[in-house]
Amino acid sequence: MRRAAHTLVALLCAAAAAAIWASPPEATAQRTGRALYTSACSACHGPDARGVAGKGPSLVGAGAAAADFYLETGRMPLSDPSAEPVRGEPAFTRAERRALTAYIGALGGPPVPAVHPGDAREGFKAFRDRCAGCHSITARGGVAPPGAAPALQQATATQIAEAVRVGPYLMPRFDERQIDDAQLNSIVAYVLAQRHPDDHGGWGIGNIGPIPEGLVAWLLAGTALLIVARLIGERA
Amino acid sequence: MRRAENAVAALLALASASLVAFVVLLLVDPDTQWLGLTAAAGLVLIAAALVLAGKRLVPHEPAVEPRPPLEDPEARDAVQTRLRFPRRKLLLASGGAAGAALTAAVVAPVTALGPAVGDSIVDTPWRRGRRLVDEHGTPLTADDIAEGSFVTAFPDGADKRELGSPVVLVKDDPSRIRRRREWAPEGILAFSKICTHAGCAIALYRKPTYEPTSVPPALACPCHYSVFATREAGKVEAGPAGRPLPQLPIEIGPNRELRAAGGFSGPIGPAWWSVRG
């Protein structure tokens, strides 16, 4: 009898150990994430992540894509809910960001998109048609009144894809009917290539477009004209 | 003197050739790089000819007219000969040719102006019942327009390149649309894609992720940042545009196909004399 009880206890212990060992790291991450969420995010997004009126939106359905984007780029948490989220150093450690993303992802919504190698030439066309209006053709950023469209030189491939699918802050969202996965891969390839663009003209002037280029041309031409006028002129 | 005159005439001839080339290129094969090169070369050559003529042909010595005036015809001729260019005809001819070529080069770009718009800014391809298609010609349904995204659409069977053709579709919560709610079934709003300021394509949709802490949705033009409020019938919220973005009434037909329910709310296209919203 005693022996049988011992065996049973041993078996139970083994089962518990097996259960803990087999418990997916994802579930552990979600538990950690929930605790972190309660302390860091619930003031604006609500204790159950369903949002707080006037402060922050519901995160149910936002998905791991949005959580990963906002946390990895340091855009969340915001100190002032009405401020424009801008890129910065992430506020959490890598493990904490993973845990929070796992928790928000478990509430439903799109997963973190997978990015594959794309064709930068095709990406240029899609970027020109859909993105350059705000981010400028060299992805140096621009204006999206009344906010600012960020420069994309620091964005990673995954973050670019997430932004397209999620549509953060004032940016529209592009689903697969508008930009399919192949096009998205190409856009990512193009944006990554714009970190170090080829300056075929010689001098990039910050790659911020034709207006500064024109100003520089006028300045140089004006100086040259002054010199020519000085050379051909004569004192009376 | 003769060498300098020949040089001036040669420069003017080259300038004429360059400017004529500009006009020919403009009419035959308007490649902007070559146009810029030929126009610039023409102007620089004329400038060089003028500088050379000023330095070498125009006499620089001070001439004092003796009094009383010269009675002796030989002495008078000697003074006048000094002022006369031996190859005056050549210079006049080359100068005239350069002037004519320059005039032609200045006038020729008039041909690059587009056709007269006529009534195309009021009489657009949009009619009641005309289907909306995407850029590949596939008909759009109400389910193709997701909230938070924006879609460019064209009239079925019409020329996509016509100024009145492209429209932008966005979807909003119908209860939040304040003006012309009946033009936007299920909250699907359609506006002309052509900005009413300078005619650029409306390529920006400002879509708030969380409206209470940011701004309401709007369409914006990337050229000069005119902002049009989508919930207020395209009212100009900011920027240089002078009249609202023309709105197209939408209806949902059988199979949930999107169709126009009429024409635009006003003339489309950029600001123009006598165009009023």
In order of A44, A46, A58, A86, B115, the CA distances from A55 in angstroms are: 5, 9, 10, 17, 53
Question: A199 — contact with chain B (CB < 8 Å)?
Answer: no
**Residue B149: which of A54, A146, A175 has the nearest Cβ?**
A175
- CB-side neighbour CA atoms (13 Å) of A4: 1
Q: How many CB pairs under 8 A join A and B?
A: 74
Whether A236 is covered by a domain: the verdict is no
Confidence of residue A12 (pLDDT cuts 50, 70, 90): low
- pTM of the predicted model as reported, rounded to 2 decimal places: 0.73
Q: Is there a contact between A232 and B54 if contact means CB atoms under 8 Å apart? A: yes
Residues A29 and A129 reside in one and the same domain: no
Query: What tens digit of pLDDT does each residue of B53-107 get?
Result: 988 888 777 777 766 766 777 777 776 666 666 678 888 999 999 999 999 999 9
Supply the range of the domain harboring residue A121: 113-213
Whether A21 is covered by a domain: the verdict is yes
**Residue B7 to residue B208: CA distance in whole angstroms:** 68
- pLDDT greater than 70 at residue A209: yes
In order of A176, B50, B172, B188, B208, the CA distances from B146 in angstroms are: 11, 66, 9, 9, 14
Indicate the residue among A67, A84, A110 that finishes a domain: A110
**Residue A58 to residue A81: CA distance in whole angstroms:** 13
Chain A residues closer than 8 Å to B208 by CB = 169-170
Whether A54 is covered by a domain: the verdict is yes
Question: Which residues does residue B167 pair with via DSSP β-bridges, in sequence order?
Answer: B153, B192
What is the structure's pLDDT at B69? 67
Question: A54 — contact with chain B (CB < 8 Å)?
Answer: yes
In chain A, the number of structural domains is 2
Residue with the larger pLDDT of the pair B122 and B170:
B170
Confidence of residue A7 (pLDDT cuts 50, 70, 90): low
A101: left (phi over 0), alpha (psi -120 to 50) or beta: alpha
Residue B37, helix vs strand vs coil: helix
Residues A54 and A94 reside in one and the same domain: yes
Residue with the larger pLDDT of the pair B152 and A11:
B152
Whether A125 is covered by a domain: the verdict is yes
End-to-end, the C-alpha distance of chain B in Å comes to 66
Q: Which of these, A132, A111, A110, lies nearest to A190 by C-alpha position?
A: A132
Residues A196 and A154 reside in one and the same domain: yes
Whether A98 is covered by a domain: the verdict is yes
- pLDDT greater than 80 at residue A46: yes
Query: What tens digit of pLDDT does each residue of B70-81 get?
Result: 677 777 777 666
Residues A120 and A78 reside in one and the same domain: no
Residues A121 and A103 reside in one and the same domain: no
Residues A30 and A62 reside in one and the same domain: yes
Average pLDDT on A207-230 reads 89
Kindly provide the b/e burial profile for residues B153-181, where b requires at least 16 CB atoms within 10 angstroms of the residue's own CB.
Answer: bbbbebeeeebbbbbbbbbbeeeebeeee
Average pLDDT on A136-156 reads 88
Confidence of residue A121 (pLDDT cuts 50, 70, 90): very high
Q: Is there a contact between B55 and A232 if contact means CB atoms under 8 Å apart? A: yes
Write down all domains in chain B, each with its CATH number in brackets. Answer: 2-112 (no CATH), 132-260 (2.102.10.10)
Which residue of A128, A143, A169, A176 to mutate against B (max B Cβ within 10 Å)?
A169
Chain A residues closer than 8 Å to B225 by CB = 143, 145
Residues A105 and A129 reside in one and the same domain: no
Question: A171 — contact with chain B (CB < 8 Å)?
Answer: yes
Residues A76 and A96 reside in one and the same domain: yes
What is the structure's pLDDT at A201? 72
Residues A96 and A126 reside in one and the same domain: no
What is the structure's pLDDT at A10? 64
Strand order in the sheet with B167-171: B132-133, B150-155, B167-171, B188-192, B247-248
Q: Which of these, B69, B73, B92, B93, lies nearest to B81 by C-alpha position?
A: B73
Task: Taking each helix axis as running N to C, give the angle between helix A63-72 and helix A157-166, from 0 to 180 degrees, rounded to the nearest 10.
Answer: 130
Residues A122 and A84 reside in one and the same domain: no
| Mean pLDDT, rounded, of chain A | 86
Whether A136 is covered by a domain: the verdict is yes
Chain centroid, CA B50 distance in Å: 33
Question: Which residues does residue A147 pair with via DSSP β-bridges, in sequence order?
Answer: A144
Q: What is the CATH number of the domain that holds A140?
A: 1.10.760.10
Whether A230 is covered by a domain: the verdict is no
Confidence of residue B214 (pLDDT cuts 50, 70, 90): confident
Cβ proximity of A83 and A75 under 8 Å: no
**Residue B203: which of A133, A168, A169 has the nearest Cβ?**
A133
Residues A125 and A166 reside in one and the same domain: yes
Q: What is the CATH number of the domain that holds A89?
A: 1.10.760
Cβ proximity of B85 and B33 under 8 Å: no
Task: At A67, give phi and psi (nearest 5°).
Answer: -60, -50
Tell whether omega for the bond before A81 is within 30 degrees of 0, i.e. cis.
no
Cβ proximity of B144 and B257 under 8 Å: no
List residues in chain B touching A: CB distance below 8 A. Answer: 51, 54-55, 144, 146, 148-151, 203-210, 212-215, 218, 220, 222, 225, 227, 238-239
Confidence of residue A175 (pLDDT cuts 50, 70, 90): confident
Element (H, E) at B188: strand B188-192
**Residue A108 to residue A171: CA distance in whole angstroms:** 21
- Share above pLDDT 70 across residues of chain A, in percent, rounded to a whole number: 89
Chain A residues closer than 8 Å to B51 by CB = 232
Cβ proximity of A124 and A190 under 8 Å: yes
Question: A77 — contact with chain B (CB < 8 Å)?
Answer: no
Q: Which of these, B71, B9, B12, B68, lies nearest to B44 by C-alpha position?
A: B12
Task: At B141, give phi and psi (nearest 5°).
Answer: -110, 170
Residues A132 and A154 reside in one and the same domain: yes
What is the structure's pLDDT at A8? 60
**Residue B76 to residue B267: CA distance in whole angstroms:** 74
Whether A228 is covered by a domain: the verdict is no
**Residue B238: which of A145, A174, A177 has the nearest Cβ?**
A145
- pLDDT greater than 80 at residue A79: yes
Coarse DSSP helix, strand, coil percentages of chain B, rounded to the nearest 5 percent: 40, 15, 45
